[in-house]
Amino acid sequence: MDGYEIAATINREDFSIPKAISEVTDSIGEAIEKASIKYNDGGRLIYIGAGTSGRLGALDAIELTPTYGVPPTRAFGILAGGQKAMFAAVEGAEDSKELAVEDLKQVKLNNKDIVISLSASGRTPYAVSAIEYAKKIGALTIAVICNNDSEMSRISDIAIAPMVGPEPISGSTRMKAGSSQKMVLNMISTGIMIKAGYVYENLMINVQPTNEKLIARSINIIEEILNIKREDAEKLFKDAHRNIAIGLVMFKLDIDYDSAKIIFEDNKRNIHKIKGIS
């Protein structure tokens, strides 16, 4: 094949991914509902896995900080082989069941936590062991896999297994399997963030204004939600100490920053729980 044929062939294969995910949305919805209860009670989102699967989990966790203001202590990834495995293959790590237990003990796993264990095959020893240990502790266990007849699908509290079929390059699970896992993780974490009150309508009200682009986006969000002039949105953003959610509380309840912050914190930083905010 030439490059054009390769691209077209891989694209045709990738069409199976959204179809496979559409068949497991009930399981994804269950994961969002049950994980939200744990998360809103102070639990942590802990992604764990080996190789490509583990890296995808770490990526999803990392992106929750700038997008939704989630502290890295509340959502993080654990890779077989440690942090160096993010950038280089660590041979043998995925085969160690003991290593998964050690890694989860290291972060003091507790029964409020959510453990999302990732493995394309559903039988990676490290990922299997993570579920086994997490269940003993009482944490919620979610398996994101691509094999609905596997050990992980049988032992996890919730198994999400989009059946994407054979890879264009046989056994290369960084392709269709990896893409499906990325999409599923996006859905789970976004759903949890919505139910935690970090989204207003379809706008990210917990986005962290850490650069010029995100500062402009934050002001745009205030302007759009409140339907106010640009200069008024900029002033409110500044008066709210660059916190969109608190700015909305200030405006809608006609109160100052200190009062709005107290109300916001008293409602567990969930704007949808505050009376008078629609």
**212 catalytically annotated:** no
Cα 28 to Cα 41: distance, rounded to the nearest angstrom: 20
What Å distances lie between residue 55 and 78, 115, 118, CA to CA?
9, 15, 10
Instruction: Determine which one of 5, 23, 91, 94 is catalytic.
Output: 94
Beta bridge partners of 78: 48
Instruction: Determine which one of 13, 30, 63, 132 is catalytic.
Output: 63
**201 catalytically annotated:** no
Catalytic sites, residue numbers: 63, 94
